[in-house]
Every structure is written in C-alpha cells, then in structure tokens.
Amino acid sequence: MTKKPISKAPTRVPGKAKTVRSASTSTTAAAGATTGATRSLTVTLKKSHKKTTSQQAWLMRQLNDPYVAAAKAQGWRSRAAFKLIELDDKFKMITKGSRVVDLGAAPGGWAQVAVKRGAAKVVGVDLLPIDPVQGAEMIVGDFNDPEMPRILTDMLGGKADLVMSDMAPNTTGHSATDHLRIIALAEMALEFALDILAPGGAFIAKVFQGGTEKNMLVPMKQHFAVVRHAKPPASRKGSSEQYVVATGFKGREG
C-alpha cells in the first residue's frame, strides 16, 4: 500500500489481525534533510542484462535521490517520511497526545514521524509484516475487515484524531486506469476514517493529479470543515502523486 510495500500488495482478503510489539528506532528532525546530499556527485550505472530499462531507471533515481540519502542517514524507514513531515508542517495534523492510525503502514516511515511528533498512540495496519517501530504498534491485517475499526479503536483507547494513508496500487502505465484505481483505494480509506475518527479529527490520503473524484470529494466536504490538495516538495517532480488533506471532522452525520 505506498511507496511502501503495501502499494504492491495483492487484493485484500479480510483476516485476523496479528499484533507485533515495538522496538527501538532512532530518528532526528527533518530540518535541512537534503543539505549536503544534494551536493553529492551523480551516480551512474553500467548497463545490466539482468535488469530491465525501467529497473535501471528506478535504481538510478534511488542512488541519486537526496531524500533517499537523507532518510538513510537520519534513520527513517523510507523517503516517504519527509512527505508527511512537510505536509504536517503545513497543515498541523499531528498533535501532542493524539491517536493516529496509519493505513498501509509498511515499511513504517509515517508511523515513525507520528511518534516523533508527539502522538500518544500510533497503530499501523498492513497486509505485510512490519518491523517494530518504537512507540507504535503494528498489526498484520486488512483495514477493510469489518472488525478492524473496533480492533483499532480498542488499541488506541478511543477514537482516532488522525487517519493517514500513503497507499497506492500497482501502476499500469495507463493514466486513466491508474487514476481510477488509486481513487478507489483512497475512497476505501475515507470510508474507514469516517467510522473511526473523533470529532475535529483529520484525514490524509495519497491520490494522483487529475483531481479527486466527485464521489469522494463531496462526502469529504460534507464531513470535514476544510478539504485541500497538496504536493509536498519530497514528492518527485516527475510523479503525478499528490495528497488530499481534510481537517475538522464534523462526525459521521456531519
């Protein structure tokens, strides 16, 4: 579900959740994340008959991406951590003592950020096992399981203040199809959020540029005070991803 492994997961099949206990992870502030990394020399690769052209291109991007280098240096699970940091700097979604649910949490970068920024309870759910994250609980399961809202509410000790999703489906290369698939995934995340959010809570999900579909945007505007789109600087320039951020949850009947 992300630039994380969940984004490449197969179709979900509801199942039992399995709790994974947390362990220590050291992190640092993201200020100046790319300082120094941008000064490094460009890495080039020899052509390999074992890799496709797209695989070679992806590896080149990774090796020359300052956010990848900064994430590794600072102990973040992935470069996607900087996207949430930048979005939270702008929209102030993670508050001290808040309860947070991370959908499609693997590999755990967003959960790390939520803990580091003062959330009291952070629970991540993913179809894939996740290495423990200090200060958070990770469970293996399907957020579409009808029992999942109850399970997560119990784990949080109450309703969530923030539901976040960096999930993305496998891309097909056909823009219209890819857009529909990610909107469908975001709609499922929204439906889940409406069940588990506390009044005043927030929701963030990845979408693709081209606008959020009407059947998603309408209920968002109905149930949240403010709905905005944003593309954080950490998103690659060539990427069509952006995020929809909704704040001020009015309640399911809002």
Catalytic residue IDs: 206
* Separation of alpha carbons 14 and 94, rounded Å: 29
Q: What are the φ and ψ backbone dihedral angles of 224, each rounded to 5 degrees?
A: -125, 150
d(CA 26, CA 144): 32
Distance separating alpha carbons of residues 205 and 143, to the nearest angstrom? 14
Cis upstream peptide for 129 (omega within 30°): no
State how far Cα 247 lies from the chain centre.
Answer: 16
Q: Which amino acid is at 158?
A: G
The torsion angles phi and psi of 60, rounded to 5 degrees, stand at: -65, -45
